[in-house]
Amino acid sequence: MSTPRIAILGGGITGLSAAFYLLREAGKQGIQPRITLLEADTRLGGKIQTERFDGFVMETGPDSFLERKASAKQLAVDLGLEDRLVRNRTGQAYILRRGELLPIPEGAVMGIPTRLSPFVTTPLFSPAAKLRAAGDLILPRRHRDGDISVGRFFRQRLGNEVVDQLIEPLLSGIYAGDIDQLSLMATFPQFAALEEKHRSLILGMKRTRPTRSDQKPQGMFLTLKDGLESLVDALAATLPQDSVRLSMRVERIEKNDGRYRLFTQTGETLEADAVLMTLPQSETDRLFSGLDVPKAGRTVPAASVATVILAYDADAARLEKDGTGFVVPRREPTTITACTWTHKKWPHTTPEGKALIRCYVGRSGDEAIVHESDEAIVSAVRRDLHSILGISETPLFTRVTRWKQAMPQYTPGHAEWVARLREKSRCHLPGIFWAGASFSGIGIPDCIDQGKQAAIEAIQYIHDSARKG
């Protein structure tokens, strides 16, 4: 068989991880494929983007990853970056309620209470809401046919007030979504499994939590000392020099006698034996418009968000409360949806005597602010910071980064659609492999997992094709 050609569409963390593990797996199988990674942008990394300025290390996209999802840490180790890993500092997190920051009750895990006293005494909820949430302890399992929304699931178990005031801002922040529209099975299937096994979410969470220790809790998140973009740089450095094509947008894909033909906007045509698709769903729908590919049953446009970074002298941003930041329920009349006190959570990012605050604006159904000017966005954020934190000084500098239609919204039935897509591809589009935030998880470890799995499957496909040929 001639040298197999594999195309990877998309140079974000999914595509780069796919390329890295594809080359590693190919070496194990004794295969030497020619890889071409095509990225429409002028840079690699997708949403991972770090700016280093005047001693600050600032993330304009994701700022960290969960350690318990092992693939991101393992990738850093595989790339020789283990000694650059930094763990977050722990501290109190808050919920905004009627303009006041109230601590998230101790023992609440993703909003689910696991300790009685902090939940009973918190002013976050009314007595009636606390009593309703306690009903989870006696409610039977709910037998469901098919997928439901995250909001519906938690409202059935814990009631509306606890969901709206605590669970919604904590969970929806991950997807910038509306939990009453997000699929339970595609976003948080572990909670459905918890109910199935333990009946009560509260009892199930208590039984599965690690035993409490007198030691100070350890941070659950990791990042890299020089910024997450150093992970992107390290991945790119492992790829053959001629394998990456930037500013290369693919316009159409056609099946051609067991192979695939990729037509680019430059007029260049590429041939591939296998194609790893790591692009957003909207792009894949466009590229395969002429082929029989299952479309998502209910497409909700990806949400648009923006990050707003504000730097201060430490004295100008002195915080009355000790902690790492706060989240904002939808009912609060603010522009900010969440705020991280970066210099507290990630001290390595900020020079001595300075403060760094990162705010988030925009979410599903409330995206107009993202399309405003930088000045209008910063002005709105500063008004909120003054109202909530009392910060009135002019920042040393600000940075606004828009991520338009960047947060996929997995609606009920999403997981079933992904399964149909992959099954139909195996039958009718062999050699096409799907991975990335539009499919099976938007976090950095989720995307790495998908890229690695797609790479393994692609090399196996090439290997099997060579044997048959």
The DSSP-derived string for 21-37 is: HHHHHHHHHT---EEEE
Hey, what are 165's tokens? Answer: 């005031």
For residue 366, the 8-state DSSP code is: B
How much is the pLDDT for 107? 86
The CA distance from 443 to 219, in Å, is 17
The CA distance from 104 to 92, in Å, is 8
The CA distance from 340 to 173, in Å, is 12
Q: Cα–chain-centroid distance for residue 331?
A: 24
For residue 147, the 8-state DSSP code is: -
Strands (E), 47-203: 50-53, 56-59, 65-66, 85-87, 93-97, 100-103
Hey, what are 369's tokens? Answer: 């602010």
How much is the pLDDT for 402? 97
**Domain range 5-45+230-299+410-468, CATH class:** alpha beta
Question: Which residues fall within 8 angstroms of residue 218, CB to CB, at 6 or more apart?
Answer: 87, 90
The CA distance from 121 to 119, in Å, is 6
How much is the pLDDT for 213? 56
Ranges of CATH 1.10.3110.10 domains, the chain: 104-208
How much is the pLDDT for 180? 95
Could you identify the residue written with the tokens 């930041």? Answer: 325
Pairing type for strands 34-38 and 50-53 reads: unpaired
Hey, what are 379's tokens? Answer: 């002005």
Please tell me the CATH superfamily of domain 104-208, with its number: protoporphyrinogen ix oxidase, domain 3 (1.10.3110.10)
For residue 109, the 8-state DSSP code is: B
How much is the pLDDT for 469? 62
What are the residues facing 8 on neighbouring strands? 37, 276
How much is the pLDDT for 44? 98
For residue 361, the one-letter residue type is V
How much is the pLDDT for 109? 87
Q: How far is CA 223 from CA 238, 339, 453, in A?
A: 20, 18, 23
The phi and psi torsions of 446 (rounded to 5 degrees) equal -60, -45
Q: For residues 285-294, b (16+ Cβ closer than 10 Å) or e, as one string? A: eebbeeeebe
Q: How far is CA 274 from CA 13, 26, 210, 285, 458, in A?
A: 19, 13, 44, 18, 7
Per-residue pLDDT tens digits for 168-188: 999 887 888 899 999 999 999
The three-state secondary structure class of 455 is: helix
How much is the pLDDT for 1? 54
Low-confidence ranges of the chain (pLDDT < 50): none
Length of the chain, in residues: 469
The CA distance from 151 to 182, in Å, is 8
The CA distance from 118 to 332, in Å, is 23
27 CB burial (10 A radius; 0-12, 13-18, 19+): exposed
H or E element at residue 398? strand 397-407
Q: How far is CA 334 from CA 275, 358, 381, 385, in A?
A: 44, 15, 9, 10
Q: Cα–chain-centroid distance for residue 184?
A: 16
Could you identify the residue written with the tokens 């722990």? Answer: 90
Per-residue pLDDT tens digits for 376-429: 999 999 999 999 999 999 999 999 999 999 999 999 999 999 998 999 888 889
Report the candidate in 234, 209, 19, 16 with the shortest Cα–Cα distance to residue 108. Answer: 209
Q: Looking at the domain 303-407, which fold is it?
A: Polyamine Oxidase; Chain A, domain 2 (3.90.660)
The phi and psi torsions of 360 (rounded to 5 degrees) equal -125, 140
Ranges of CATH 3.90.660.20 domains, the chain: 303-407
How much is the pLDDT for 449? 98
Other CB atoms within 10 A of residue 469 CB: 8
The CA distance from 208 to 205, in Å, is 5
Hey, what are 307's tokens? Answer: 């990050």
Other CB atoms within 10 A of residue 13 CB: 33
**Residues 201, 194 contacting (CB under 8 angstroms):** yes
How much is the pLDDT for 464? 87
The phi and psi torsions of 356 (rounded to 5 degrees) equal -135, 120
For residue 376, the one-letter residue type is A
How much is the pLDDT for 300? 52
Ranges of CATH 3.50.50.60 domains, the chain: 5-45+230-299+410-468
The CA distance from 189 to 196, in Å, is 11
Helix/strand number for the chain, H first, E second: 16, 20
